[in-house]
Amino acid sequence: MHSVHTPVFEAILNRRSIRSFTEEAVDRETLLRIITAGTWAPSGLNNQPWRFAIVWDGKLKRKLAKLTRYSSIIENAAVLVAVFLGFVICI
């Protein structure tokens, strides 16, 4: 029987959602490391359907903010990481 007290399990159980942010800039290298970690997430049949977009531009963030009820979070973020899921259309 495997122990349920592994570092990964503990990280999952202790994760939290942050909705208050500092004005501190996020450097490009940190974002790329986060995205690299995200690409290692499991996916069905290892199809890895995700694509990532880093959004720094204020004008684009304002346009994206209009698409969600969380507009103030989007508008005020220093940078956004948008995650898109790909799909295949079968005709």
- Domain containing 17 equals 7-85
Please indicate, yes or no, if residue 61 is contained in any of the structural domains.
yes
The reported pLDDT for the residue numbered 58 is 94
Confidence of residue 25 (pLDDT cuts 50, 70, 90): confident
Please indicate, yes or no, if residue 91 is contained in any of the structural domains.
no
Please indicate, yes or no, if residue 2 is contained in any of the structural domains.
no
Domain count, the chain: 1
Domain of 36: which CATH number? 3.40.109.10
Contact criterion met (CB below 8 Å) for 50 and 38: yes
**The pair of three-digit structure tokens given for residue 82, joined into one six-digit string:** 């948008």
Q: Maximum Cα–Cα distance for the chain, whole Å?
A: 53
The reported pLDDT for the residue numbered 32 is 94
What's the whole-model pTM score? 0.69
Q: How far apart are CA 83 and CA 54, in angstroms?
A: 9
Please indicate, yes or no, if residue 17 is contained in any of the structural domains.
yes
